[in-house]
Amino acid sequence: MKEPISIVSISTLSALGSTQEEIWSKYLNSDHFITEKQFNFDKALVAELPKEAKKEIKKLRESDAKYKKLDDTVLYAIYVSRKATKKAGWKSKDHFGINIGSSRGATHLFEKYHQTFLKNQKTPTLTSPTTTLGNVASWVAHDLQSQGPEISHSITCSTALHALLNGVAWIQAGLTEKFLVGGTEASLTEFTIAQMKAMKIYANKNVDYPCRAFDLEKKKNTMVLGEGASSICLEKGNLKEAIAKIEGIGYATEILEHNISISTEAECFQKSMQMAIKDINPDEIDAIVMHAPGTIQGDLSEYKAIEKIFNNNKPFLTTNKWKLGHTFGASGMLSLELAILMLEKQQIIAVPFTMKQDPPKKIEKILVNAVGFGGNAVSVLLTN
Nearest 5 degrees, angle CA 369-CA 373-CA 375?
A: 55
> Rounded CA gap, 46 and 43, in Å?
9
Position 93 scores a pLDDT of 84
Other beta carbons within 10 Å of 258: 11
Q: How far is CA 127 from the centre of its chain?
A: 27
- Within 8 A by CB and 6+ apart from 383, the residues are 244, 245, 247, 343, 364, 365, 366
Position 3 scores a pLDDT of 84
CB 208 within 8 A of CB 352: no
> Rounded CA gap, 196 and 157, in Å?
13
> Rounded CA gap, 211 and 225, in Å?
9
What is each CA distance from 272 to 181, 303, 331, in whole angstroms?
Answer: 20, 14, 17
* Segment holding 370, helix H or strand E: strand 365-370
Nearest 5 degrees, angle CA 135-CA 183-CA 144?
A: 55
> Rounded CA gap, 11 and 79, in Å?
9
Position 336 scores a pLDDT of 98
Position 256 scores a pLDDT of 67
Other beta carbons within 10 Å of 260: 14
Largest CA distance in the chain: 64
Nearest to 292 by CA among 257, 255, 249, 323: 323
In b/e form, how buried is each residue of 111-134, taking b as 16+ CB within 10 angstroms? Answer: ebbeeeeeeeeeeeeebeebbebe
pLDDT in tens, the chain (384 residues): 888 899 999 999 999 999 999 999 999 999 999 999 999 888 999 999 999 999 999 999 999 999 999 999 999 999 999 999 999 999 988 899 999 999 999 999 999 999 999 999 999 999 999 999 899 999 999 999 998 999 999 999 999 999 999 999 999 999 999 999 999 999 999 999 999 999 999 999 889 999 999 999 999 999 999 999 999 999 999 999 999 999 999 999 987 665 556 788 899 999 999 999 998 999 999 999 999 999 999 999 999 999 999 998 999 999 999 999 999 999 999 999 999 999 999 999 999 999 999 999 999 999 999 999 778 999 999 999
Position 147 scores a pLDDT of 87
CB 287 within 8 A of CB 320: no
> Rounded CA gap, 260 and 268, in Å?
14
Q: What sign results for the dihedral spanned by CA atoms 144, 149, 154, 160?
A: negative
Position 259 scores a pLDDT of 54
Position 257 scores a pLDDT of 65
Position 264 scores a pLDDT of 86
> Rounded CA gap, 208 and 213, in Å?
13
Task: Write phi, then psi, for 95 (nearest 5 degrees).
Answer: -95, 105
What residue type is assigned to position 341 of the chain? L
Domains by residue range for the chain, with CATH: 5-236 (3.40.47.10), 245-383 (3.40.47.10)
Position 206 scores a pLDDT of 86
Position 302 scores a pLDDT of 96
